[in-house]
Chains A and B, each alone.
Chain A
Amino acid sequence: MAEGTHQDGYRIYGVVWFWLLVITLLELGAVLVHLPHTLLVISLLTMALMKAGLIIAYFMHLRYEKLSLAYAVVTPMFFLAIVLFAFLGPDALSVLHRR
């Protein structure tokens, strides 16, 4: 953790910035070339999660925090995603089919 020798120099932020831009351009590209719908949705969600991971791990520094903090932050998100998909997804589809 000594000043300056710590792995997080300024360089890492430039690298993360670069990859965030690359993924954003890929996202826009995927829309502009009209990928098939299912493939588009899957690839866009994957790329969004990759960007989120980069931001949380490096910009928000969670990678360098104690693991207990990472668990405390990430575990609720995991359950949230399950609950939202498991309960709201079928609801929305059943409304669609009743129309």
Chain B
Amino acid sequence: MAHDAIDQEQVLASDWGGGRSPFDVGWPKLMMWLFLVSDTLTFAGLLAGYGVVRISLGRWPVRAEIFNLYLVGAMTFILICSSATMAVAVSAAKRGDDRRVIPYLLLTVLGGVLFLLGQAYEWTHFIGEGARLFGNPWGIPQFSATFFITTGFHGGHVSVGVLYLLATALRWSRRSIQPESVEIAGLYWHFVDLVWVFIFTLLYLI
């Protein structure tokens, strides 16, 4: 018993001593995690900038009168569903449940496309009401500027994610990737959902 404990201690201590993988994940997955940490800083910067202009102005348009919260709620619903289908696709790939991988990947893509359509509709409506990047009828230029830049950045991430998932589905169907690649694509997709949680809360609700 005591011998086992000492062994374990030595194993823990040698984690960072070289020759082992301290995080116990492959390098592609670790790289995706690190990229996501840096991408978090990007969105944190955008949202913090939004917070600063909004607090320092002391007034802000009433969003519930400008945006259709039900549409935004539906878009949020779609993105959450697509994240759940992605999680199933990843799990199926890892456990060798082959017939579930492609359908659930494509369902996830469908969710992403529907989300983008919702956003395109929302932007069109917003621009139709007179909102521009540097001005809008509500008299607070920072309002439309932060809205377009933040949701645009997120929409860009969703668009890239849709392409990424399509490429992953294609490569999976050709059996040219490992389950880990599906998992890494999943990490990216969940991150896009994660960012939307904060955009939804901070830009639309608060």
Question: Which residues of A are at the interface with B, using a C-beta cutoff of 8 A?
Answer: 3-4, 6, 8-10, 13-14, 16-17, 20-21, 24, 27-28, 30-32, 40-41, 44-45, 47-48, 51-52, 55-56, 58-61, 65-66, 68-69, 72-73, 76-77, 80, 84, 88-89, 91-93, 95-96, 99
Contact = CB atoms under 8 A, between A and B. Distances in A.
B114 interface: no
B15 A59 contact: no
A73 B69 CA distance: 32
Q: Is the interface of A mostly helix, strand, loop or mixed?
A: helix
A85 to B, nearest CB: 9
Q: Is the interface of B mostly helix, strand, loop or mixed?
A: helix
Nearest to A55: B194
A44 B87 contact: no
A41 B86 contact: no
Contact of B87 (A3, A58, A76): A58
Interface in B47-76: 48, 51-53, 55-58, 64, 69, 73, 76
Interface string B63-96: 0100001000100110011011011101110011
